[in-house]
Structure 1
């Protein structure tokens, strides 16, 4: 059962979190272009599409920590420091996405915002991506783990 849970956890992370990080990273430059050329339907459509991808995959991404907790429980590692730190960073990444990235994307997708908004959005997106990269490294390295990486 542990292998199944871990497999679903990893697949969900790749399928759900990957698209969010890529689309969120592509959004600020696309939004800048749309702000510069508001009459360009392709630029405006790209911004709307990237925002929709982020919204949908963020919702699907809820599966990742659910199966992560189930896997950690099955492996008996819920009390391990690396997992506790990973959980905290995952919660922080979700908070950054929900409170700082998606609302700014939404405002820009609706035509509200400035170039400065895109700069701040790029910064918050970078923080979000860095948090996920750190969680990924912790999941692979598992400092202090006796199951060894």
Structure 2
């Protein structure tokens, strides 16, 4: 059963976390261009925002099946796993508290005046950093999952 859980865990990470990370990182540069445009078209940003939100919810399958795998492998007390859990929680918080609200703020002014759009430009610039931090946290989790420092087999 552990192999099944591991398969679903990895598949969920690829199919859910991957698109969220890509959509979140694509949003800021497009947002900056849209905010500075004379006639903004937020269509692409709306799609990226929807991908970010929907796949984030679907991504909850990753830690759920990850716990099932860790329980089956009896590694719940290993440092690499505990650090991965903390970093996963941090990534979720960055996404929920920083990335998604900033995306929403940019979209909220998309059809307003140039002055209103320029007022949100700083959030769009900050969004580059926060989405980068989100991606970096997942990269570190991936390395920990593959390398498993300190893990002893058998």
The TM tier, using the shorter chain, reads: over 0.9
| Number of the residue aligned with 1:55 | 53
Unaligned runs of 5+ in 2: 110-116
Q: Map 1:40-119 to 2 at 5 A.
A: 40-41=40-41, 44-111=42-109, 113-119=119-125
With CA pairs under 8 Å and 6+ residues apart, which has the higher RCO, 1 or 2? 2
Shift of the 18–38 alpha-carbon distance from structure 1 to 2, 3 Å rule, reads farther
Per-residue displacement from partner, 1:16-61 (whole Å, max 9, x unpaired)? 00000000000001111110125243xx101111000000000000
**Equivalent residues, number:** 146
Q: Secondary structure at the match of 1:69?
A: helix
The 2-side partners of 1:139 and 1:38 are apart by 46
Listed as ranges, the gaps of 5+ residues in structure 1 are: none
Q: Larger radius of gyration, structure 1 or 2?
A: 2
**Does structure 1 retain, via aligned residues, the 8 Å contact 2:105–2:120?**
no
Per the TM alignment, residue 109 of structure 1 is displaced from its structure 2 partner at its CA by 1.4
CA RMSD, Structure 1 to Structure 2 (Å): 1.3
Q: Does 1:7 align with 2:7?
A: yes
Distance 2:56 2:34 in 1: 23
TM-score computed with the length of structure 2 as normaliser: 0.91
Write the distance in 2 (CA, Å) between the matches of 1:94 and 1:63: 13
